[in-house]
Structure 1
Amino acid sequence: MDRAGTDARIREIAEPFNKKGVTITEQTTFQNDLEFDSLTVMDFVAEIEDEFDIIISMNQQAEIENYGQLVDAVHKLRSA
């Protein structure tokens, strides 16, 4: 799956979590723009891990601040 495919699938996963209907761009932040709390982040990450059969470490999660970084991280983990 290329980066665009990864992006499209993550957007589908994010939709039910996007309670405010924010338009998601590469720069959209999870904490400020989407207002994800820690429990929402855990649930969202768990869905992504299940969908892509990957593990996103706590260190990696701490470094991911916006949507584009998440797509890059997932794509890189899938390619590894």
Structure 2
Amino acid sequence: MSNKDLTNKDIYERICKIVAPFNQKDVSLFPATSFANDLDFDSLTVMDLVAAIEDEFDIVLPLNMLPDLETIQQLSDAVEKIIKR
């Protein structure tokens, strides 16, 4: 299956698998889980996560987009939008 064939649910599930090793507090992951508030990710962790997501989906997440991606669902939506271009 190519990335263009992925559903938002598929993308969300893959992102949750990528987030899991960074989840030091073992917080349950939901679409509304916040990277800053729930997971306490610092800027270095966010950049490592972004790199992992870019590698997984073979995309580039524009840096100006990152401040708007506060939850796992927002990140999933952004990845889907980039993939489907």
TM-score range (shorter-chain normalised) is over 0.9
Residue 39 of structure 2, aligned match among 15, 21, 34 = 34
Q: Give me the TM-score of the superposition, normalised by structure 2.
A: 0.90
1:5 aligns with 2:10: yes
* Root-mean-square deviation (Å): 0.7
Aligned residue for 2:26? 21
Residue 52 of structure 1, aligned match among 33, 57, 63 = 57
Structure 2, unaligned runs of 5 or more: 1-5
Structure 2 distance, partners of 1:67, 1:11, is 8
Post-superposition, which runs of at least 4 consecutive aligned residues in structure 1 deviate over 6 A? none
Q: Give me the TM-score of the superposition, normalised by structure 1.
A: 0.95
Give the length in aligned residue pairs: 80
How many percent identity over aligned positions?
Answer: 47
Q: Amino acid of the residue matched to residue 83 of structure 2?
A: R
Structure 2 distance, partners of 1:63, 1:8, is 20
Structure 1 distance, partners of 2:83, 2:49, is 17
8 A Cα contact 2:34 2:71, kept in partner: yes
Q: Amino acid of the residue matched to residue 40 of structure 1?
A: T
Aligned residue for 1:68? 73
